[in-house]
Amino acid sequence: MKLLEVLKHWVHKRSDLSSNLLKFIMWKKLNRFFKENHSLLITAPSVAAVLIIFRLSGFLQLLEWAALDQFFRLRPSEIKDSRIIIVGISETDIRKIGQWPIPDGILAESIEKIKQQQPRVIGLDLYRDLPVQPGHEKLVNLFKTTPNLIGIKKVIDSSSSFAVNPPPALQEKDQIGANDLILDSDGKVRRGLLFMEDKAGNLVTHFSLKVAFKYLQNEGIIPKSAVSNPDFLQLKNQVFPRFQSNDGGYVRTANGGYQVLVNFRGAQNTFTIVPLTDLLENRISPDLMKDRIVLIGSIAASLQDYYSTPYDSGLNSSPQRTSGVEIHANMTSQIISAALEERPLIKGWSEPVEWLWIFTWSVIGVALGWLGRSLPTKYRFYSEYWALITIVISGVSLIGSSYLAFLAGWWIPVVPSLLALLGSAFAITSYIANLERKERQTLMQLFERRVTPKLAASLWEERDKLLEDGQVQGQELIATVLFTDLKGFSTIAENMTPKMLMGWLNNYMQTMAQIVLDNDGIIDKFIGDAVMAVFGVPIPSITNEEIALDVQKAVNCAVEMGKALKFLNQEWQNKGLPSVSMRVGIATGAVVAGSLGSALRQDYTIIGDTVNIASRLESYDKSIDGGICRILISEETYEYCQDKFVTKVVGTVVLKGRSQPVKVYQVLVE
DSSP letter at 160 equals: S
**pLDDT score of 53 more than 80:** yes
Q: Which residues contact 538 (CB under 8 A, 6 or more apart)?
A: 447, 459, 466, 472, 475, 522, 593, 604
At residue 126, the pLDDT reads: 96
- What confidence tens digit (pLDDT) does each residue in 105-131 have? 999 999 999 999 999 999 999 999 999
- What confidence tens digit (pLDDT) does each residue in 238-252 have? 999 999 999 999 999
- What confidence tens digit (pLDDT) does each residue in 578-632 have? 889 999 999 999 988 776 545 455 566 778 899 999 999 998 988 888 889 999 9
Which one, of 479, 487, 458, lies nearest residue 623 by Cα? 487
**pLDDT score of 447 more than 60:** no
For 305, the enclosing helix (H) or strand (E) is: none
Identify the band that residue 374 occupies on the pLDDT scale cut at 50, 70 and 90: low
- The alpha carbon of residue 312 and the mean position of all alpha carbons in its chain are separated, in whole angstroms, by 31
427 and 43 Cβ atoms separated by less than 8 Å: yes
291 and 119 Cβ atoms separated by less than 8 Å: yes
HEC string of 533-549 equals EEECCCCCCCCHHHHHH
Identify the band that residue 161 occupies on the pLDDT scale cut at 50, 70 and 90: confident
What is the average pLDDT across 337-352? 94
**pLDDT score of 515 more than 70:** yes
Region at 597 (left for phi over 0; alpha for psi -120 to 50; beta for the rest): left
What is the average pLDDT across 50-65? 94
Identify the band that residue 1 occupies on the pLDDT scale cut at 50, 70 and 90: very low
At residue 467, the pLDDT reads: 47
- What confidence tens digit (pLDDT) does each residue in 181-211 have? 999 999 999 999 999 999 888 999 999 999 9
Which one, of 481, 577, 585, lies nearest residue 535 by Cα? 481
At residue 391, the pLDDT reads: 87
For the four alpha carbons of 186, 192, 196 and 198, in that order, the dihedral sign comes to positive
What is the average pLDDT across 88-108? 95
143 and 120 Cβ atoms separated by less than 8 Å: no
- Report the share of the chain in percent with pLDDT over 70: 83
- What confidence tens digit (pLDDT) does each residue in 249-293 have? 999 999 999 999 999 998 888 999 999 999 999 999 999 999 999
Rounded Cα gap, residues 365 and 432, in angstroms: 13
Identify the band that residue 169 occupies on the pLDDT scale cut at 50, 70 and 90: very high
- What confidence tens digit (pLDDT) does each residue in 519-557 have? 988 888 888 889 999 998 877 888 999 999 999 999 999
Q: State the pairing for strand pair 149-153/121-124.
A: parallel
Which one, of 438, 498, 487, lies nearest residue 463 by Cα? 438
- What confidence tens digit (pLDDT) does each residue in 405-443 have? 999 999 999 999 999 999 998 888 777 767 666 655 555
Measure the CA angle with vertex 472, ends 641 and 604; round to 5°.
60
Identify the band that residue 33 occupies on the pLDDT scale cut at 50, 70 and 90: very low
At residue 11, the pLDDT reads: 47
